[in-house]
């Protein structure tokens, strides 16, 4: 059974590129465009990893990650951001890792693979 990844990003190009790359790596992918959709899927489905953009309309990735943890989710959450490093430092402890855009999909999936082998 393939490992499942939830990707949340409001930028369609990023969402589609990461989804395609992850699917080609053998992962089952669900892709959504905001934090509210992310939470709806996490409530109803099991995922091995969540990858979320930090800044999205409706509900941002930081708030979505906090809500997931409040509800007892233990899935690793990786953040993506276009914000400068000093702006994301306060959020480091909320995520397994933070990647700055543009994201190297190969590097990201290599890290996902490391997480899933634990």
Pair 60, 54: CB distance under 8 Å: yes
- Domains in the chain, CATH or no CATH each: 4-116 (3.40.50.2300)
Tokens of 64: 């979505």
Global pTM value:
0.96
Pair 79, 52: CB distance under 8 Å: yes
Token pair 């995922």 is found at 47
Burial class (CB in 10 A: 0-12, 13-18, 19+), 43: exposed
When pLDDT is cut at 50, 70 and 90, the band that residue 1 belongs to is confident
Question: Within 13 Å, how many C-alpha atoms sit on residue 51's CB side?
Answer: 28
pLDDT in tens, 46-103: 999 999 999 998 999 999 999 999 999 999 999 999 999 999 999 999 999 999 999 9
């Amino acid at each position: 059974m393939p490992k499942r990844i939830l990707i949340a990003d409001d930028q369609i190009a990023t969402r589609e590129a990461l989804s395609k790359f992850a699917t080609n790596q053998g992962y089952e992918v669900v892709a959504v465009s905001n934090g509210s959709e992310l939470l709806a899927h996490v409530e109803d489905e099991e995922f091995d990893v969540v990858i979320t953009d930090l800044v999205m309309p409706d509900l941002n990735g930081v708030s979505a990650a906090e809500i997931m943890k409040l509800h007892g989710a233990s899935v690793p959450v990786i953040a993506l951001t276009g914000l400068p490093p000093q702006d994301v430092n306060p959020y480091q402890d909320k995520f397994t890792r933070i990647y700055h855009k543009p994201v190297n999909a190969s590097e990201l999936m290599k890290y996902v693979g490391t997480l899933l082998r634990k």
